[in-house]
Structure 1
Amino acid sequence: MLTKEWKQFKSGTDIRGVASEGPEPVNLTDEVIERIARGFALWLSEKTRKASSELSVALGHDSRISAPRISAVVTRALTGCGIRVFDCGLASTPSMFMATLDIPCDGAIQITASHHPFNRNGLKFFVKTGGLDAPDIEALLLYAQENKAPAADKPGSVEPSDHMKIYSAHLRNIIKQGVNAENYDRPLEGFHIVVDAGNGAGGFYAYDVLEPLGADINGSQFLDPDGMFPNHVPNPENQQAMDSVCSATVIAGADLGVIFDTDVDRGGAVDSQGMEINRNRLVALASAIALEGNDGGTIVTDSITSDGLKRYIETTLGGVHHRFKRGYKNVINEAVRLNEAGINCPLAIETSGHAAMRENYFLDDGAYLVTKIIIKLAVLRKEGKTLESLLESLAEPKEATEIRLPITEEAFRECGEKILADLEQYAKEQNWQIAPDNHEGLRVSFGKGEGEGWFLLRLSVHDPIMPLNIESDAVGGVEIIREKLIKFLTTCSGLNLAPLLG
C-alpha cells in the first residue's frame, strides 16, 4: 500500500510533482526522482524478464526549467542499475514511445508535466506496447517507496540519440504519401501554415516537418523552447492560447494554424477564417478522417461531447458515437477493448485534444493528428473544397459552460458518489431524461422549454472537485438548466456551491 507521501506523485498514468522553486515547496527532489527511476528499472526488468544490464531505455524531456536536473538524476539512476540510456534531449512525448520501436529499446521515459505551470514536472513511461497504466505506476511507486532496485554487476552507459530527426522524417513521409502531390517531395508548396508551440517542445514541427515539405511557415510563433512559458500557457484548451494562435493565423493570412501543448501529445487547429478547430470541432474533424475506409466505425470520446457532435458522427458520417469516461487513457483503453471485442474502432479522442488513432498504435500524438489534418486540407483543396466545408453540418451549442464545484468533505470520493446517487434518484422523480450511454457521473437531457440541452455532473478523477458541464441549443437555456440543478444541489452537504451561485 502506498503511503500518502508517495501516493501524492501518482497522477493517473503519470508521475507529477513540484520540481522547481515557486509558489509550492519542491517535492520532486533528487532522492525521490532517483528512487522512482530505479523503481521503473525494476518494474521493466520484471516486465521484460531481462536482467537490468540487458535493458535499454530512451530518455527525453520537454522545455521545462527543471528538465536538466531531472534528466541527470534519471540517467544516474538508470546507469547505476546497469541500463543503457539513449539521451534524446528535447523531445515530444509521442516520440519517446516511437523510440521504443525505432531505436529500438525496451522502454522510454519522458520528463514532462504537460500544460502544468513552470514549477511542476513529472515522468511518463513507455514500453513497446504503449504507455503504462495506473496499476503499473502504482507498482513502480511501491518499489520507490521501498527503495528497491534491480541488482547490477556493472554500470550502464549513456549515448546521445537524435531520435527526433527520425520521428520528424516519419511525419514527413506520412504527409508525402497522404498528399501524393505531383511534386512528391514538396507536397506542401502553396500552403501557408502557422505553428504555435507555446515555447514547449513542438517547434520542430515547423522547422523539421512543414518547412522541408515546402510549406510557408511565416507568422509561426513561440517556437523556441522556454520553460518559463512567457507568452501563454502551452495548452490548446486555454482560451488565451487559442485566441493567440487564431489571431496569428488571420494576421499571416494562413491556410491553417496549429497549436500544441508543451510535450506535443495534444494539438488543436485554426481554419483560414481564424475559427478554432478545437474541442467538438476537432473531434468532428478527426472522426471524419478516421472513418474514411472504416464505414460504420465507432468513435470513442470522453463524456462531455455535445449532442450536435453525436448527430454529426452518426448521421453525417455514418459512424457510431461511443461516449466514455474522462481521462485520455480511459478513452484509449476503451477503444482498444472494443477492437479486441471485434468492433471496428479507429479513433479514441478527448475534447482536451488527446487523439489516438488505431493506425498509429493508439498513441495520443498531437503532431500525428495535425499531420492527418494537413493531409486532409491538401486533398480537399484538390477537390476544390475546404476544411470549413467539411464541418458545415456540425451543429454547435448556442451556450456552454463548465463549473467546478469543490467538495469540502475529507472523504471526497464517498461524498461525490452519494451526491450523484441522490441526483439520479431525484432525476427519476422529476422524469428527467437520463442519458442511456452514461459511463461517468450523470448526464441528463432536456427538451424545448426545459432548457433545450443537457448537463453532466461527474466526480473528478483525482481531485476533490465535481465538474459540471451544461450545454444548450437555445439562448438562455444554460440558465434554465442551472436553476433546475440549484434546486437539488442546495439540499446536498459537502459541496461548495459558490461557483454555481455566483
Structure 2
Amino acid sequence: MLANYNKLQNGSDIRGVAIDGAGKEVNLIPEVAKFISYGFVKLLENKINTKGKNLKVAVGMDSRLSGPDLKATVIEGLTDLGCSVYDCGMATTPAMFMTTVLENYKCDGSIMITASHLPYYYNGLKFFTREGGCEKEDIQSILSIASKEESYYGINSSKISKVDFIDEYSKVLVNIIRNGVSSKENYNQPLVGFKIIVDAGNGAGGFFAYKVLEVLGADISGSQFTEPDGRFPNHIPNPENEEAMEYIRNAVLVNNADLGIIFDTDVDRAAIVDSNGREINKNALIALVSSIILEEHQSSIIVTDSITSTGLGEFINKLGGIHHRFKRGYRNVINEAVRLNKEEKESYLAIETSGHAALKENYFLDDGAYLIAKILIKIAKLNEEGKRIESLIKDLKMPWESSDFRLEIKNDNVKDYGAKIITDLQNYVKSTEGFSIVNNNYEGVRVTCDKTNGDGWFLLRLSLHEPVLALNIESDIKGGNQLIVDKLVIFLDKYNELDLSDIK
C-alpha cells in the first residue's frame, strides 16, 4: 500500500495527493480510502455502542476529479460492514453534517470527500457524527485502525440510497431566509429587486445561485463558474485568494450588481463584495457578522482566531460585545466557543479570518451557505430602511498596512526550534523600546508597537500544519510595517536555520 496513514492527517481532516501527474507522490488512492472508511465505522461503533449493520452513514463529495472513485470505494467500505448508506453525490461539507440532523435522515455519521481549497490533485475526507465534526483525536483513531489494513465483510445485505441531498438542503436555506425576512408583501420571494452574483470557482457552491437565490426572486445573471469542474480552470475556489476575490469584485462592478458572493470548494467558507466592489472579507466579514449577531444577542462573546486586527476588537467592544481572540484553526475557534457556553459564558459566534464562521444557532457548524443566508436576511431588512449592508461596518477601523510572511524552518526538529525562537522573542521584546507583549496570548507572541515604532502589532507563531513560523504584521501608518520588520530582522538574523528570504 502506498499510504503512510499518519501523514494523511491534517488536524481534524484527512488530506492527501489523489491524482498522479503533479510531481507529488500519490498517497490517497481508493483502496486507502476504503480502509479509512472501515476506521470511521469502528469509531462510530465505539461511540454509539452498536454494530455497523445498525448504522446509517451519508457520503458526499465536491467537484474534484478524484471524487467519484474515492466515493465509490468509501461506500464499498461502509457496506462491507453492513451500514446503510445515503449516496448524496455532489454536496457541501456543511450539508453532509445536516444529514445527521434532518428528520428524514438522522444518519449516525457522514463523510465528505473534499480537500477544501487545495489544488486539484489533492483530495481528502471530513467526518461528522451527530455531535459535530470529528476532532483530531478521532482522526488519529480512524487512521490507526485503517493502517492495519484489515478487510471486513459483513454478512448482511446493505442498502444504498442515492439522494439529491443538496436539493433538500437548499430548501432548508430558502425557508430560513423566508422566515428570517418575514416580508409581508413578498414572503416567498423576499429578494426580488436584488441582483446577486455567485462565484463558485467551479466547486460545489453553484447550487446556491439556482436553488436558493433564484427561488427567492433574485436576479442571478452574471453569476460565474457555477458548473462543477475539478480542474478549477478559472481560479482557486478560496475567499482568501486575491485572484479569486478580484474575479468576483470585477463581476459585481461589470454587472452593476447589489452583491457578490464567493464560496470555497466545499462551501464551508464564504465572503462577499458590496455594490461598490468593496471586499467584505477577513476582518471586515467578522465585523459584519458580529454586528448582526450582537443585535440579536447583546454582550455575546465573539471568538476569533489570533490574527484579527486591533480595530476589529475595538469595533466589537463598541457594539457591546466581548472580543475573545483565540488560536488559529477553525476547530480551535469553534471548540473554544463551545467551551465558553458550557461555562455559561454566552458565545453565539466563532469565526476565523479564513471565512470559517460557526453560529450557535446552527450547531456551531462552519457553513458558508448558512452564513450568507444570515447576511441576506439582514440585507433585505436594511433595504426596507433604505440602507445597504456596508452601513453596518462603516465605523470599522482598518489598518493602513497589513502583511503576512511565512518563514520556513529548516531544522529537522521544527517544533522545538520554532518554540525556542518564540521564547527568545519574548525576551527580546522586553528589552526593546516601543514593543510590549499583549496579554492573554493563546499561541505564539503578539506584540504591540507604539507610534514611533510602527504604530501597530505583530504576531509570530508556529504554523499548524507547515514547517514555518507565520508572521502577521499590521500598522496604522504608512511605512509602519517596514519599521516593525527592521527591528524584527535584527532579532531573527541570528537563526541560521530560519529562511528570512520572504521577509527580507
- TM-score range relative to shorter protein: over 0.9
- SS of the residue aligned with 1:212? coil
Q: How does 1:168-317 map to 2 (within 5 A)?
A: 168-181=170-183, 182-315=185-318, 317=319
Aligned to 1:94: 94
Aligned to 1:64: 64
Q: Which amino acid aligns with 1:65?
A: L
Residue 351 (structure 1) aligned with residue 350 (structure 2): no
Which one of 464, 468, 481 corresponds to residue 465 of structure 1?
468
Deviation at 1:4, TM superposition (A): 9.2
Deviation at 1:150, TM superposition (A): 6.2
Aligned to 2:4: 5
Asked whether the equivalents of residues 110 and 124 of structure 1 are also in contact (C-alpha less than 8 Å), the reply is: yes
Aligned to 2:169: 167
Which one of 318, 329, 340 corresponds to residue 338 of structure 1?
340
- SS of the residue aligned with 2:298? coil
Provide closer, same or farther for how the CA distance between residues 149 and 311 of structure 1 changes in structure 2, counting only shifts above 3 A: farther
- Separation in structure 1 between the aligned mates of residue 374 and residue 393 of structure 2, nearest angstrom: 16
Which one of 395, 398, 401 corresponds to residue 396 of structure 1?
398
Aligned to 2:40: 40
Deviation at 1:113, TM superposition (A): 0.2
Aligned to 1:74: 74
Moved over 6 A (4+): none
Provide closer, same or farther for how the CA distance between residues 135 and 148 of structure 1 changes in structure 2, counting only shifts above 3 A: farther
- SS of the residue aligned with 2:161? strand
- Separation in structure 2 between the aligned mates of residue 98 and residue 488 of structure 1, nearest angstrom: 49
- Separation in structure 1 between the aligned mates of residue 340 and residue 117 of structure 2, nearest angstrom: 30
Aligned to 1:146: 148
- Separation in structure 1 between the aligned mates of residue 30 and residue 223 of structure 2, nearest angstrom: 37
Aligned-residue CA RMSD in angstroms?
1.2
Asked whether the equivalents of residues 239 and 354 of structure 2 are also in contact (C-alpha less than 8 Å), the reply is: yes
Residue 479 (structure 1) aligned with residue 471 (structure 2): no
Deviation at 1:152, TM superposition (A): 2.8
Residue 27 (structure 1) aligned with residue 27 (structure 2): yes
- Separation in structure 1 between the aligned mates of residue 157 and residue 428 of structure 2, nearest angstrom: 63
Aligned to 2:52: 52
Aligned to 1:115: 117
Which one of 408, 411, 436 corresponds to residue 409 of structure 1?
411
Deviation at 1:294, TM superposition (A): 1.2
- Separation in structure 2 between the aligned mates of residue 209 and residue 129 of structure 1, nearest angstrom: 27
Deviation per CA, 1:26-48: give whole Å up to 9, x if none: 11122211111111111111111
Deviation at 1:249, TM superposition (A): 0.7
- Separation in structure 2 between the aligned mates of residue 193 and residue 125 of structure 1, nearest angstrom: 32
- Separation in structure 2 between the aligned mates of residue 279 and residue 119 of structure 1, nearest angstrom: 27
- SS of the residue aligned with 1:375? helix
- Separation in structure 2 between the aligned mates of residue 205 and residue 30 of structure 1, nearest angstrom: 30
Deviation at 1:149, TM superposition (A): 6.3
Asked whether the equivalents of residues 39 and 148 of structure 1 are also in contact (C-alpha less than 8 Å), the reply is: no
Q: Which amino acid aligns with 1:348?
A: A
Provide closer, same or farther for how the CA distance between residues 299 and 391 of structure 1 changes in structure 2, counting only shifts above 3 A: same
- Separation in structure 2 between the aligned mates of residue 462 and residue 238 of structure 1, nearest angstrom: 19
Provide closer, same or farther for how the CA distance between residues 411 and 4 of structure 1 changes in structure 2, counting only shifts above 3 A: farther
Instruction: Compute the TM-score of the two structures, normalised by the length of structure 1.
Output: 0.98
Aligned to 2:389: 387
Q: Which amino acid aligns with 1:158?
A: I
Deviation per CA, 1:251-301: give whole Å up to 9, x if none: 111111000000000000000000100000000001011112211111000
Which consecutive residues of structure 2, in runs of 5 or more, have no partner in the other structure?
A: none
Q: Which amino acid aligns with 1:479?
A: Q
Deviation at 1:12, TM superposition (A): 0.4
Deviation at 1:22, TM superposition (A): 2.3
Indicate the percent of aligned positions where both proteins have the same amino acid: 52
Deviation at 1:131, TM superposition (A): 0.3
The alignment of Structure 1 onto Structure 2 pairs a total of residues equal to: 498
Residue 133 (structure 1) aligned with residue 135 (structure 2): yes
Asked whether the equivalents of residues 81 and 149 of structure 1 are also in contact (C-alpha less than 8 Å), the reply is: no
Mean CA deviation greater in 68-77 or 140-149: 140-149
Deviation at 1:500, TM superposition (A): 1.1
Deviation at 1:442, TM superposition (A): 0.5
Deviation per CA, 1:56-99: give whole Å up to 9, x if none: 10000000000110011101111011111100000011000001
Mean CA deviation greater in 395-404 or 142-151: 142-151
Provide closer, same or farther for how the CA distance between residues 434 and 4 of structure 1 changes in structure 2, counting only shifts above 3 A: farther
Deviation at 1:381, TM superposition (A): 1.0
Instruction: Compute the TM-score of the two structures, normalised by the length of structure 2.
Output: 0.97
Q: Which amino acid aligns with 2:321?
A: G
- Separation in structure 1 between the aligned mates of residue 41 and residue 155 of structure 2, nearest angstrom: 14
- Separation in structure 1 between the aligned mates of residue 259 and residue 45 of structure 2, nearest angstrom: 45
Q: Which amino acid aligns with 1:241?
A: A
- SS of the residue aligned with 1:458? strand
- Separation in structure 2 between the aligned mates of residue 78 and residue 415 of structure 1, nearest angstrom: 42
Q: Which amino acid aligns with 2:56?
A: S
- Separation in structure 1 between the aligned mates of residue 201 and residue 486 of structure 2, nearest angstrom: 39
- Separation in structure 2 between the aligned mates of residue 341 and residue 459 of structure 1, nearest angstrom: 29
- Separation in structure 2 between the aligned mates of residue 166 and residue 413 of structure 1, nearest angstrom: 45
Which consecutive residues of structure 1, in runs of 5 or more, have no partner in the other structure?
A: none
Asked whether the equivalents of residues 79 and 154 of structure 2 are also in contact (C-alpha less than 8 Å), the reply is: no
